[in-house]
């Protein structure tokens, strides 16, 4: 028995078998995701980096079959969920966001097929150099492509953004009042 996520197999064999792959892994098992997260977290001071980020879960279910356009092209469908550690680009604090990656890929050998719009609606075209695929490579790349260029806290209450210092200005008000009093005192 093989490991359908990691074995390199004929995409047509997988499609004809309607191979289902359950994914219950973590970032460690997805090298491109790990590299991307590592580069992002490298912007933090060493002591501020979350220690166990490679253990964050990546789960989901994908299924091989055939594209709905009747072309007979093999396809992969499903959904993958990832917990992605990142640095918030507003407050520069580490945080973690949930990434929901819909999977809808149509495979083929022709380089220009995507340009001809000859792909099922809603599907991404995936050019294969040969008949074989390693499913983990596809999922790895789809997650990286779904990661936002500029991650940030979704919830303002969690974000210690500089702009929010404005909301705290009431707390500094007594000092402003004191300064005004001192200025007035100078004039007298």
Check residue 11 for interaction with Zn ion (CB under 5 A).
no
Of 45-53, 107-115, 149-157, 174-182, the segment contacting Zn ion by CB under 5 A is 149-157
Check residue 151 for interaction with Zn ion (CB under 5 A).
no
Pairing of strands 20-26, 57-66: antiparallel
- Angle, in degrees to the nearest 10, between helices 135-146 and 31-41: 30
Check residue 113 for interaction with Zn ion (CB under 5 A).
no
Check residue 44 for interaction with Zn ion (CB under 5 A).
no
CA-to-CA distance for 156 and 126, rounded, in angstroms? Answer: 38
**Distance, C-alpha 38 to centroid of its chain:** 13
Check residue 153 for interaction with Zn ion (CB under 5 A).
yes
Q: Which of 91, 114, 118, 128 touches Zn ion (CB under 5 A)?
A: 91
Nearer to Zn ion among residue 88 and residue 105 (C-beta): 88
Nearer to Zn ion among residue 66 and residue 153 (C-beta): 153
Nearer to Zn ion among residue 93 and residue 137 (C-beta): 93
Check residue 5 for interaction with Zn ion (CB under 5 A).
no
Binding site for Zn ion (CB under 5 A): 88, 90-91, 153, 159
């Amino acid at each position: 028995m093989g490991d359908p996520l990691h074995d390199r197999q004929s995409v047509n064999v997988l499609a004809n078998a309607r191979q289902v792959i359950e994914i219950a892994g973590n970032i460690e098992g997805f090298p491109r995701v790990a590299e991307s997260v590592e580069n992002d977290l490298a912007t933090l001071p060493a002591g501020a980096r979350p220690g166990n980020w490679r253990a964050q879960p990546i789960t989901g279910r994908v299924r091989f079959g055939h594209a709905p356009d009747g072309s007979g092209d093999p396809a992969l469908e499903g959904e993958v969920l990832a917990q992605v550690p990142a640095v918030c680009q507003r407050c520069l604090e580490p945080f973690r966001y949930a990434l929901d990656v819909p999977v809808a890929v149509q495979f083929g050998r022709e380089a220009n097929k995507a340009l001809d719009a000859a792909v099922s609606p809603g599907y991404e075209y995936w050019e294969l150099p040969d008949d074989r695929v390693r499913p983990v490579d596809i999922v790895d790349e789809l997650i990286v492509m779904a990661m936002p260029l500029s991650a940030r806290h979704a919830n303002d209450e969690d974000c210690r953004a500089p702009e929010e210092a404005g909301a705290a200005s009431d707390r500094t008000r007594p000092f402003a009042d004191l300064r005004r009093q001192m200025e007035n005192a100078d004039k007298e």
